[in-house]
Amino acid sequence: MAEITDTSEFESPLYRTALAQLDRVAARLSLEPNIHERLRHPRRALVVSIPVRMDDGNTKVFRGYRVQHSTVLGPTKGGLRYDADVNLGEVTALAMLMSWKCALAGLPYGGAKGGVRCNPRSMSVTERENLTRRYTVEIMLVIGPDHDIPAPDLGTDEQTMAWMTSCTLSTRQHATSASRSAGNASSSRDSATSGASRPACSGVRAV
């Protein structure tokens, strides 16, 4: 059986279970060892800090994750969960399981999963919105319809996805407009600077 060299970053009961299941199936299928070893590790694991201005005026920094297990079949897809017990190992295991689900269902996607360690039930709507928008900004480089497609999960819903979509679209439209302004020789320096300074994602505050 293949041995992962260092499990410290991913340590969790669920991750150990996911690896044990993979190892048993790999042995039964006589899976080629190099493929087996590759599948035991996520392709990409992103850890981000999410500063949020709370309703009482204080800033609280949350820990967020987005893990993409495999892109062999196509873009990744997977849920986003908000829960006090979210950790990197759990998210990695769930991304791995999503890869198996997509493959068994014949879907052209790989598995991914995201999460933020928080208690959404103790947060106001405004706090959850600001958390979601800031998290979206932090992971924006690795998500999108051709890369990774988030979906609701534990502690999130269609409103969470709407905030993510709104933030992504407004930020990317802003970046495109700013790029065009900066590249237009007939535009003045003041107008280009003004366009680049507008907030891209409503609700995200610089902290």
Catalytic residues, by residue number, are: 113
Per the CB < 8 A criterion, the answer to whether 43 and 8 are in contact is no
User: For residue 4, is it left (φ>0), alpha (ψ between -120 and 50) or beta?
Assistant: beta
Determine the Cα–Cα distance for residues 128 and 132; give it in Å rounded to an integer: 6
Please answer whether residues 65 and 91 qualify as being in contact, where contact means their C-beta atoms are separated by less than 8 angstroms.
yes
Cα separation values, 120 from 62, 109, 150, 201, Å = 12, 29, 18, 21
For the chain, the farthest-separated pair of C-alpha atoms sits apart, in whole angstroms, at 67
For the beta carbon of residue 8, count every other beta carbon within 10 angstroms.
6
Tokens for 188? Answer: 């003045």
